[in-house]
Amino acid sequence: MPQSALFTGIIPPVSTIFSADGQLDKQGTAALIDDLIAAGVDGLFFLGSGGEFSQLSAEERKTIAQFAIDRVDRRVPVLIGTGGTNARETIALSQHAQQAGADGIVVINPYYWKVSEANLIRYFEQVADSVTLPVMLYNFPALTGQDLAPALVKTLADSRSNIVGIKDTIDSVAHLRSMIHTVKAAHPHFTVLCGYDDHLFNTLLLGGDGAISASGNFAPQVSVNLLKAWRDKDVAKAAEYHQILLQIPQMYQLDTPFVNVIKEAIVLCGRPISTHVLPPASPLDEPRKAQLKTLLQQLKLC
């Protein structure tokens, strides 16, 4: 068991930047990586939902993982998303991430079949056993259709010492509270990170460790400054930043999936990148771009 929690703080789920022909835009992705590190983030998570992993082939995911790891070049910890519907592919991608030099992997539960609890436990144990890297679980029941309950997560943390944390992407303070109380009671160094911007403050208040949330791509300073204020015991200042984060999820309602919204927000906030997204996502139309700009201006983010 590690002596201190791994992968704490603000870890943006980095958007993968693509050229107009759907290829990895290395220059754009590199610039975004450099901007986020300069903003003071605590790590970077590649090939999550916002990284469009579900629209990519295994080989494309390997290419992006290798590029990201090389570009970050140990400046901050790198997490690579390796989960999917296919356990053999998840294991292969996890082993590739380890060989490529990742600091850890993030593994979502399979999301086509509903999977029995015994099979779900076996899946995560097989992935954890296939690498020596730390493993972060990824709970996103709105997309997978199946929740990783706190008791199940504790069973996994009991079972494998390299299962070290969770990204809990769920719009429920009660779930976050139960995750923190159930798992951290037995494993104090188990990391609990929220996946929604507006739950960062709740997560910290409850004893959690930070966030892997989308606004880290276009407004990393808000979460970074909230966490700094919290660590400085300036709760009033942290609450000011929380007021901004409470409003940000309105933006994600502009389209589904909202990967296009995040990329347009990056541009509006000052980083000129390609906003191409992979189908079935599509470009954000002009009326919704205008709505996004208004929301960002109201929050003084652009």
Beta bridge partner(s), residue 139: 168
DSSP-based three-state secondary structure for 172 = coil
| Of 123, 138, 196, 241, catalytic | 138
Taking CB atoms within 8 Å and a gap of at least 24, the contacts of 179-187 are: 179/150, 179/153, 179/208, 180/206, 180/207, 180/208, 181/150, 181/206, 181/207, 182/150, 182/151, 182/153, 182/154, 183/150, 183/153, 183/154, 183/157, 186/154, 186/157, 186/158, 187/1, 187/154, 187/157, 187/158
Active-site residue, 138 included: yes
Active-site residue, 111 included: no
DSSP-based three-state secondary structure for 190 = coil
Beta bridge partner(s), residue 209: none
| Of 49, 94, 130, 215, catalytic | 49
Active-site residue, 293 included: no
CB-CB contact of 56 with 83 (8 Å): no
Q: What are phi and psi of 57, to 5 degrees?
A: -80, 165
| Of 112, 159, 161, 282, catalytic | 112
Q: Residue 135 is encoded by which pair of tokens?
A: 């493993």
End-to-end Cα separation, the chain, in angstroms: 43
Active-site residue, 282 included: no
Say which DSSP state 141 is in: H
Strands, sheet with 13-14, edge to edge from the N-terminal-most edge strand: 9-10, 210-211, 191-194, 163-168, 135-139, 104-108, 78-81, 44-46, 13-14
Cα 173 to the center of its chain, rounded Å = 18
Tokens 């050229």 belong to which residue?
19
DSSP-based three-state secondary structure for 244 = helix
| Of 62, 154, 167, 184, catalytic | 167
Question: Would you please indicate which residues are annotated as catalytic (active-site) residues?
Answer: 49, 112, 138, 167
